[in-house]
Amino acid sequence: MNRGSSCCRRPFKKDWLPEGHLAYFISDTIDALDLSAFHARYASGGPRNQPFHPTMMVKVLVYGYATGVFSSRKIARKLHEDVAFRVLGASNFPKHRTICDFRALHLEEFSALFVQVVKLARECGLAKLGTIAVDGTQIKANASRHKAMSYERMQRTEIELKAQIDALLAKARATDEAEKNEPELDIPAEIERREQRREVIRAAQERLQERQRQADAARGRTPGDERKPRDPDGNPRKGPLYKREFGIPKPKAQENFTDPDSRIMKRSGGGFDYSYNAHAAVDETAYIIVAAELTNNGADSTRLPPLLEAVRDTAGEYPRQALADAGFRSEAVFETLVDHPTEQVVALGREGKKPLAIDPKKRPHTVAMAEKLRTEQAQLAYRRRKWISEPPNGWVKNVLGFRQFSMRGLRKAKAEWRLVCAALNLRRMASMIPA
């Protein structure tokens, strides 16, 4: 056996990496956290059900996300090629499928890990919950733009598939002689393939219709309203007729087949992508993310109350003050938070733009916020919002390089977003805590 091969099987020396290296910090920190939830899945399965130590797997995954390595294939390769990964892997070399499965099986555990990291940051004095700033950023979903279809095209395609299936069934009923002339055509397989595609399209249509029913109901519409606007008592009121029946989506409403939970969102540089809207609440003390939430709604206007609740659930209490840009403004939100223990300073428009006239009868809480924003104290507080909330989003995308989710579905993407934020917090803590 050559020297390189034997070296890989000896315990790694502490001087393989410089003192204070991020890998050591992540290893020591994760050893101090409660990982019993990761071990619980294997408690009754014995050694055969636990091919690699869960703590080692957590360290490798967290370090991967903290250094911009998100792909399970790349992590598996790094375990062979990168010294820091090999130190954390302790001469273990799980395959990419094992890494991918471990991450997918422990979604809730990784979400809970984010909470533990925030609490540790609080104990270290890096998150004091005096002032936080909230912001959202759109991150691409793991969804193919070429495997999507509009509602209008779904209807056309379903009709076409039905016609093709009927034609194949007619051909199947043809005479034996006709079948002998076309032996290469497997009619039952062709029928099954088209039926499966038709079912996929039909399921996508039903999801679009259900989404539209919920949206129509939120607008006060009801089934059988004859497309006429009605008041809360159900009586017709003046106004133009609705363009579509209750629960019928727009013809151009789209559904993605690879990740149905993702939504079309406008890209900042122009164009559109299937994306999720990722939100972070950032503590001003050391830019620690104290709440990480995810939604498939591109609008931010309803997200401030859930983010404040997430801060309390994660860090144990509400912040003293929360800063938010104009995307989070909403009369309904201001009304909900009127007696909230957290003071809110929320912009009502872009800086430098002339403020719009606000009807005090219809939006009294918005008027109250406008009056607050005219005070010097609120103006000084709001000026800090950008340099508190925006750096972590920049670090996620430009330092870690996290611009697209690896996992599909809202639940999995939400867990992955918290894993990203936990890794970023650990990276930030490593630079703030003396070695």
**Three-state SS letters, 349-417:** CCCCCCCCCCCCCCCHHHHHHHHHHCCHHHHHHHCCHHHHHHHHHHHHHHHCCCCECCCCCHHHHHHHH
Per-residue pLDDT tens for 258-312?
888 888 888 877 778 889 999 999 999 999 999 999 999 988 999 999 999 999 9
pLDDT, tens digit (0-9, with 9 covering 90-100), for 81-95: 999 999 999 889 999
The total number of residues written for the chain in this structure: 435
Cα 60 versus chain centre, distance:
22
Which of 373-379's residues contact partners 24+ apart within 8 Å by CB, and which partners?
373/345, 373/347, 373/348, 378/345
Q: What is the reported pLDDT for 284?
A: 95
Q: Tell me how far apart the alpha carbons of residues 185 and 179 are, in angstroms, rounded to a whole number.
A: 9
pLDDT reading at 151 higher than 70: no
For tokens 């690879």, the residue is 258
pLDDT single digits (tens) 377-414: 999 999 999 999 999 999 999 999 999 999 999 999 99
The stretch 215-244 carries a mean pLDDT of: 78
Q: Which range is least confidently modeled, 194-203, 304-313, 359-368?
A: 194-203
pLDDT of residue 278: 95
Whole-angstrom Cα distance, residue 121 to residue 424? Answer: 12
- Long-range contacts formed by 228-231: CB under 8 A, 24+ apart: none
Does residue 208 carry a pLDDT above 90? no
What is the pLDDT at residue 351? 61
Per CATH, is 115-144+262-432 categorized as 3.40.390.10? no
Closest CA to 53 of 102, 107, 15, 87: 102
- Please check the confidence at residue 182 and state whether its pLDDT lies above 60: no
Average pLDDT over residues 159-181: 65
Query: Looking at residue 354, what is its pLDDT?
Result: 63
Reduced to 3 states, what is the DSSP secondary structure of residue 433? Answer: coil
Instruction: Quickly state the pLDDT bin for 10 (edges 50, 70, 90).
Output: very low
Q: What is the pLDDT of residue 4?
A: 35
pLDDT tier, 5 (very low <50, low <70, confident <90, very high otherwise)? very low
- CA–CA separation, 79 vs 95, rounded Å? 10
**Mean per-residue pLDDT over the chain, rounded:** 83
pLDDT of residue 183: 52
* Strand, coil or helix: 177: helix
Query: Tokens in use for 58?
Result: 């957590």
The angle subtended at Cα 266 by Cα 398 and Cα 218, nearest 5°, is: 125
Whole-number pLDDT of residue 17: 83
CA distance 399 to 420: 12
Least confident span in 114-118, 151-155, 160-164, 174-178? 174-178
pLDDT number for residue 289:
96
**Among the ranges given (140-144, 249-253, 273-277), the one the predictor scored with the smallest mean pLDDT:** 249-253
| 305/185 Cα distance (integer angstroms) | 59
Q: Where are the beta strands (DSSP E) in 170-262?
A: 254-256
Angle at 164 between CA 212 and CA 200, to 5 degrees: 35
184 confidence band (pLDDT: 50, 70, 90): low
Dihedral sign, Cα of residue 59, residue 65, residue 69, residue 73 = positive
Give the pLDDT band (50/70/90) at residue 244: confident
Residue 236 has pLDDT above 90, yes or no: no
pTM of the model: 0.81
Please give the share of the chain, as a percent, with pLDDT higher than 70: 86
Q: Helices 96-105 & 72-81, crossing angle to 10 degrees? A: 130
At residue 7 the predicted structure's pLDDT band, cuts being 50, 70 and 90, is very low
